């Protein structure tokens, strides 16, 4: 009698434990199925704003998103180190190269855009600046640490201009506009909307991007994903990229509608949004997988070399302690989420 009840008790215990486990498991899986993604982003006139406004990111990643506004790529890096950011959207290639070199635990998963002419040197039309030598004695402003800063320093270097020839000032974009209006600066290397305001106020473009791109000063805005997060939620990461792809498609097929959505989200008029959007080279997701850009898994593309070059440049600026060799930057790019997103 006693033995039977003992066995009975054990069976009941086992059964209860089994039930408890069975009950707990679906709960845990359910929690894993709707993760919360912490995304650091910028309020800017780019197609990411479309996907954000329409909720496509949440939809395709099947996740809740914590949108954290960033002031600079450096803040994205800081957030990644501390683990408080999972995805960085729109981080420049400069801070990304720095991040990979410093061992920040993230990888580049896609390009947001190739910047090209969108960030450019703007000078006063009345100053009649036609050649690099004309920059001597001028005050040029740029936000330090940005891709524009990188380009400006590249411009000085490739044209043999030193920091005593040209005064370079660190100003955020909105102060560049104010300084320009006051006449405190002679030029700026910056992006729109600041750039557009300078051009509208007696400014003229001094084209540098073609030459700089050819000399290895390609700049781009990127998506980065924290390693631990990506490993745990690969599907969500792919979803994020899918959502961006959808936004890009909308921009290609219906640019006016896209511009209206972007304008509303960024707090500017549709016209300004449309003009800003046109300046960027939004490389389609499929094209990013070619050898010209990020390459595909196992076949790294040319962009890794751009990151290496950027890192070497940053070492020269004392912004980072050391640059790594090319394979490190190739490994710093992980395109298999991209591949899944276009599949």
Partner 1 sequence: MIGLLHRRPWIVTLISIAAVVGAWAGATYGGLISDLLLPTPDELWDGAADLVVNGYKGYSLGAHIGLSLLRVGLGFGLGTILGTLLGLAMGMSEVLDALAAPFIEFLRPLPQLAYLVLLIIWFGIGETPKIVLLFLAALPVSAIAARDGVRNVSGERVRAAQSLGANRAQIFLHVVLPSALGEIFIGARLSIGIVYATLIAAEMIAGASGIGWLILDAGRFLRSDYVIAGVLLIAAMGIALDRGLLLLQRRIVHWAGK
Partner 2 sequence: MSGQAEGGTMRPWSRYGLGCLSVLAALALWQAAGSFRLVPAGLLASPAQVVAALIDISRHGYRGTSLGQDIAATLARALAGFLVGSAVGVPLGLWMGTSRLTTAALDWIVQFLRPLPPLSFLVLLMLWLGTGNLAKVALLALTAFPIVTSATYAAVAAVPQQKIQAAQSLGASRAQIFAHVLLPAALPMISTGLRIALAAAFSTVVASELMAGSDGLGWMIFSASQFLRNDIILLGIILLGILGMGLNGLLLRLDHRLIHWRGRE
Q: Which of residues 250-269 bind partner 2 (CB under 8 A)?
A: 267
Peptide linkage before 193 cis (omega within 30 of 0): yes
CA atoms within 13 A on the CB side of 62: 10
Q: Which range binds partner 2 by CB under 8 A, 150-158, 171-179, 184-192, 243-251?
A: 171-179
Residue with tokens 């050898």: 291
The correct pick among 37, 63, 85, 97 for binding partner 2 (CB under 8 A) is: 85
| Residue 208 sits in the site that holds partner 2 (CB under 8 A) | no
**CB distance 44 to 267 below 8 Å:** no
| Residue 238 sits in the site that holds partner 1 (CB under 8 A) | no
The correct pick among 57, 106, 144, 217 for binding partner 1 (CB under 8 A) is: 144
CA distance 109 to 336: 8
Residue 168 CB contacts under 8 Å (≥ 6 apart), including other chains: 140, 141, 142, 152, 153, 156
| Residue 54 sits in the site that holds partner 1 (CB under 8 A) | no
The correct pick among 170, 174, 257, 271 for binding partner 2 (CB under 8 A) is: 174
Residue (65 or 161) nearer to partner 1, CB: 161
| Residue 76 sits in the site that holds partner 1 (CB under 8 A) | no
Q: Which of residues 178-217 bind partner 1 (CB under 8 A)?
A: 178-179, 182, 184-185
CA neighbor of 145 nearest in space, from 341, 303, 319: 319
What would the x/- binding string for partner 1 be over residues 292 to 331, using CB under 8 A?
A: ----------------------x--xxxxx----------
User: Minimal distance in Å, beta carbon 79 to partner 2?
Assistant: 4
SS3 172: coil
**DSSP collapsed to 3 states, 246-270:** HHHHHHHHCHHHHHHHHHHHHCCCH
* Residues of the shown chain interacting with partner 2 in the complex, contacts defined by CB under 8 A: 40, 67-71, 75, 78-79, 81-85, 172-174, 177-178, 181, 267
């Amino acid at each position: 009698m006693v033995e039977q009840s003992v066995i009975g008790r054990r069976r009941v215990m086992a059964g209860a434990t089994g039930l408890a486990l069975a009950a707990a498991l679906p709960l845990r899986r359910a929690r894993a199925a709707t993760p919360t993604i912490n995304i650091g982003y910028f309020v800017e006139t780019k197609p990411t704003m479309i996907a954000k406004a329409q909720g496509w990111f949440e939809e395709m990643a099947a996740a809740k998103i914590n949108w954290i506004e960033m002031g600079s790529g450096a803040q994205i890096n800081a957030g990644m180190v501390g683990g408080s950011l999972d995805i960085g959207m729109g981080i420049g290639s400069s801070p990304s190269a720095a991040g990979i070199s410093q061992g920040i635990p993230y990888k580049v998963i896609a390009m947001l855009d190739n910047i090209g002419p969108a960030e450019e040197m703007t000078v006063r039309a009345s100053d009649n600046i036609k050649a690099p030598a004309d920059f001597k004695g001028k005050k040029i402003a740029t936000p330090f640490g940005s891709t524009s800063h990188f380009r400006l320093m590249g411009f000085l270097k490739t044209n043999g201009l030193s920091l005593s020839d040209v005064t370079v000032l660190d100003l955020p974009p909105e102060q560049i506009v104010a300084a320009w209006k006051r006449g405190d600066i002679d030029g700026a290397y910056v992006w729109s909307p600041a750039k557009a305001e300078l051009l509208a106020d007696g400014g003229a473009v001094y084209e540098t991007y073609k030459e700089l791109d050819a000399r290895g000063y390609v700049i781009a805005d990127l998506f980065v994903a924290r390693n631990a997060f990506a490993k745990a939620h690969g599907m969500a990461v792919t979803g994020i990229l899918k959502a961006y792809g959808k936004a890009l498609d909308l921009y290609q097929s219906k640019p006016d509608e896209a511009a209206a959505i972007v304008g509303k989200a960024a707090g500017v008029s549709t016209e300004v949004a449309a003009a800003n959007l046109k300046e960027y080279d939004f490389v389609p997701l499929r094209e990013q997988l070619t050898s010209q850009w990020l390459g595909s898994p196992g076949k790294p593309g040319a962009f890794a070399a751009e990151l290496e070059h950027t890192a070497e440049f940053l070492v020269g600026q004392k912004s980072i302690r050391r640059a790594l060799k090319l394979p490190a930057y190739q490994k710093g790019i992980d395109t298999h989420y991209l591949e899944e997103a276009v599949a």
